[in-house]
Structure 1
């Protein structure tokens, strides 16, 4: 940090949780960095949240434990918080404030960028395009992630959302492009943090990973800062370094709860479920920093992971996230109960930009019709299961039974895979075809007849039962 500035304010009027109120200030602005001196000489750092005449509200990044209203002082640097940016971050692990935790030297650089950042100007945006292949069949086949997209994962506490986030971060790629991952862990336990570092060790050794880890016992203010630092690093790697960058942020519900805690400490009027009224705009200020820029190389793709309290998808955090983002990947307790990993619920999941990342020239010419047929047939199978519960299996038609067999084949061939298994896209689509060929030709109405015949011939099958 810089040498202690000459102007120091000692009138600390109040301490509220992670906040201090400093009086008698002049010329202090919003988002300005503050340096706090404790009576014993310890120094902490903060950011100005609000200024009202001669009062400044400062959030202390290291927390206010051990602080008192007397004996210390606060000085303001006159600039917003900035961090060094550049490729020196690749292969490094840091805490939620950007301080190394991997035993390496401090991260420095010739360039720096403001942590607050800004949403991407829509005038300069390019539409998301081309796939990010995650190696997870349930995602690549049915909810393809597109470069520049924001696609959240919705889960319930107890589901393996962290395992899925780690798997995607460790094996995602974009063919023929320089690819990097920025992983931001928010409110992780020590065991979860150790798991993530082990899972992503290979990507870190390859110089393709930046890891920021905020622990559950770290100061709450750090949790609010961590995703902003992650996105600032990602933006530079993408738009200055020409890299395709995937930002994985988990768990965004922990972030929202930290925001709620700070809002309560500021005495703000609460909104739904006691979250601040600006939760929507705050989340948007993060998610909208992803995308592609016209005439600039690289892209930033965001995969936020969040847990839904009590499994309620209408809870403010998933509800508002769904308004901002372009689809969702939903993890299901029912699927996990059937022993499926990842426990993705295909009929509840959606990638609204899939057509911009899949199909001819991007993945395979048959990708989109295969995905459409899979979804339609799974919906028919769900209807068959409901009918069987009402009238019994004896009341099902042959077509209903074929679709139930198809649903089992989809889980067996396509959706289920090991947490350490990376599948190439061709393998994923061939698995999808093996499941589809359980159905009769007459059931495959969304696929060209010639394409179905070709795959039956390759599989050594004739027309399935029920074909015309």
Structure 2
């Protein structure tokens, strides 16, 4: 163990130390203040004679008389199957009043990239119970599908609903046993009120028993937020690839994580990229998102749902922009739908799941899934366009056909998207609601659905409409 008392500068969350021998990148550091307080840090930059350290607990109370000890190892997460049901702080220390974690092993939090040859292509349907996701933007096991939201929207409620309800059918098309997910929840920079809401929901629903929570609050050091998601993902990889769990990782809020990167970059006096964010932010985010997936020959899987709030509702902002490039789609929350009381307010038109086609269809969900999704998407898009036209010419100027599409758009929002945060719809129920809505349109308008499927399902939907 190497110890120095050669601090030259303290800048924001960073401490600069002169050294006389090589120090490893990412090496863990202990800093002891003159009054005996111990702070932990990590080597952020190492050059000849000078080391930059990011301090997890912040640099308040530090001065140049502090002692710096380099521990000679990188940060590791203690992992064990018994960690399920535990609540940790943002640096991996238990805060639930329980005993210390007795690990089976300690793993480097940076993780190891999945060999592309060993990566199994994601194509197994995950039933979230949310129609706007299952029916229109299907989540697949091993996928990374972020929620793009904005300040004041109920993205946390949607995330909790998916965490409670997400299941993987044991066999395609089998309505028998289903496998629940183990949930790894990583919170970065959330308020104490939000943290209490999450914990109350986890405890009330019993989901905490199959969850591990990492909690970095808004008043915790910002630099700790760069560690929290890596601790969560290391735990997820262990449970998935060593213990065979299907793991759902929810990370919120990635915007706070990126703000921490910007703060550290400013303290290091780096040349900023777009809007002041570091030029390497794309690479940094990729090191997190690409840890989702499946490995050939391993039973488990890691599925990610990162949540980010778009600053100023701007989907061209660097954070959602770069996230969209790395991940396989996005679920878009909509402020107008939220103001109408639609729960969850998911706008299916700009939403996308790039792996949906591989996770649905005959033998996976139901043979009409793809066609129904395409037809509803087209009908809703036409109804939305006609709403703009109504504002100009009035509804009376539209044809009977156009008015049916307007009615479809309204009912689609109020019956298909609207379901509340405590309704768990099976894929059968979701598609039946879809056929019920499509029965509003003449058969001649269903040009995206195979005729055999229309004959098989349309009459049933027509009967349901008549009974209603």
TM over 0.5: yes
Q: Which residue of 2 aligns with 1:403?
A: 405
Which consecutive unaligned segments of at least 5 residues does structure 2 have? 171-178
Q: Which residue of 2 aligns with 1:65?
A: 60
Matches of 1:346 and 1:108, distance apart in 2: 45
Q: Which residue of 2 aligns with 1:434?
A: 436
Q: Which residue of 1 aligns with 2:220?
A: 218
Query: What TM-score, normalized to structure 1?
Result: 0.95
Query: Cα deviations across residues 195-215 of structure 1 (Å, max 9, x unaligned)?
Result: 011112256556311111110
1:174 matched to 2:188? The reply is no
Q: Which residue of 2 aligns with 1:231?
A: 233
Tell me by how many angstroms 1:42 deviates. 1.3
CA contact (8 A) 1:156 1:307 kept: yes
Query: Cα deviations across residues 382-419 of structure 1 (Å, max 9, x unaligned)?
Result: 12212222222122111111111111221222100112
- Change in Cα spacing, 1:390 to 1:460, as seen in structure 2 (3 Å) is closer
Q: Structure 1 segments of 4 or more deviating over 6 A? A: none
Q: Which residue of 2 aligns with 1:199?
A: 201
Matches of 2:197 and 2:347, distance apart in 1: 25
1:117 matched to 2:111? The reply is yes
After superposition, residues 14-413 of structure 1 pair within 5 angstroms as 14-70=9-65, 72-176=66-170, 177=179, 179-202=181-204, 207-413=209-415
Which consecutive unaligned segments of at least 5 residues does structure 1 have? none
Tell me by how many angstroms 1:313 deviates. 0.5
RMSD of aligned alpha carbons:
1.7
Matches of 1:434 and 1:276, distance apart in 2: 49
- Change in Cα spacing, 1:25 to 1:34, as seen in structure 2 (3 Å) is farther
Query: What TM-score, normalized to structure 2?
Result: 0.95
- Change in Cα spacing, 1:55 to 1:373, as seen in structure 2 (3 Å) is same
SS in 1 for 2:227: helix
CA contact (8 A) 1:370 1:432 kept: yes
SS in 2 for 1:301: strand
Q: Which residue of 2 aligns with 1:451?
A: 453
Tell me by how many angstroms 1:223 deviates. 0.7
Query: Cα deviations across residues 149-169 of structure 1 (Å, max 9, x unaligned)?
Result: 111111111111111112212
SS in 1 for 2:463: coil
Tell me by how many angstroms 1:449 deviates. 2.9
State how many pairs are aligned. 458
CA contact (8 A) 2:27 2:42 kept: yes
CA contact (8 A) 1:21 1:58 kept: yes
Matches of 2:457 and 2:294, distance apart in 1: 37
Query: Cα deviations across residues 236-281 of structure 1 (Å, max 9, x unaligned)?
Result: 1111011111111111001000110011111111111000000100
Matches of 1:151 and 1:53, distance apart in 2: 42
Matches of 1:51 and 1:262, distance apart in 2: 15
Tell me by how many angstroms 1:138 deviates. 0.8
Tell me by how many angstroms 1:123 deviates. 2.3
